[in-house]
Amino acid sequence: MTGICNGRVVVITGAGRGLGREYALAFAAEGARVVVNDIGTSLDGEGTDASPAQQVVDEIHAAGGQAIANGEDVADWDGAGRLVAAGIDAFGQVDIVVNNAGIVRDRMFVSATVEEWDATMHVHLRGHFCVARHAVNHWRARHKAGEQVDGRIINTTSGAGLQGSIAQAAYSTAKGGIAALTLVQAVELGRYGITANALAPSARTRMTEQAFADKMAVTEGSFDVQHPANIAPVVVWLGSSESADVTGCIFELEGGRITIEDGWHLGATTDAGKRWKPDDVGEAVHKLIAEQRPARPVWGT
């Protein structure tokens, strides 16, 4: 199997189902060797099951590709190290990390628990950190040895992380943190030949089918806008050598639509040239708000 990722090695977390599965199949179809990582938990992060990852590996093998299954917990520091090492041991190196694994604990903020909050941060934020950090160790060592590195970090944020989502305070916070992490990684790691970008995909998955049932319904007789396979081509291209000049971008993807988010910009500003009096602040702030470009609304409003 040959394609734009021929010979490259990709580690994909949460690759046993949904978006991750489609990424794994698409990378393999383009010649990549794939580490299919999935611990096999329920949607809220409970239990384990090795079969989803192995089923994806079996599909790749049946199509003539190369892949191995891995069941490490991405949020465990040592486990994430073993995950990256598995790719190196099996295929000689790792070139791409796709951080896709996640859980959701939907709850209105007034009812949220600290246990739900911690679990969400653990999988999303710590999971993104641990796997990428071990991959960067690998790439940095190769760079120091004089090798030309062509590394890729592809993170997963969300529309919830970019604009907020009702009943998803923890999930939105974690996904917003991932977007910020991506910007920092892009700036810091470019010197080693590593790019970092993030995805905010809209597609039919276990998470979105529950939260947005009407939007995610299958469209009969026409282009299935919400099919998760629609997201994979952009992810594969970002993992290829062709994307070496693209870093620090947040891609919002849905169906056939590709949007690069505009990011934070300096908004309307006023300067009194002296210390403000409390009584004067309100008028100034309301004037600035009136001049601002309206923000995208929070999901669910």
User: Which residues are catalytic, by number?
Assistant: 158, 171, 175
- 8 Å CB contact between 263 and 250: yes
Backbone angles phi, psi at 30, to 5 degrees: -100, 20
H or E element that contains 199 = strand 194-202
Find the distance separating the first CA and the last CA of the chain, reported in whole Å: 46
The β-bridge partners of 107 are 168
d(CA 196, CA 184): 9
Question: Using alpha carbons only, what angle is made at residue 118 by residues 250 and 215, rounded to the nearest 5 degrees?
Answer: 50
- 8 Å CB contact between 56 and 32: no
Task: Give 173's DSSP letter.
Answer: H
Sign of the Cα torsion 50, 89, 62, 23 reads: positive
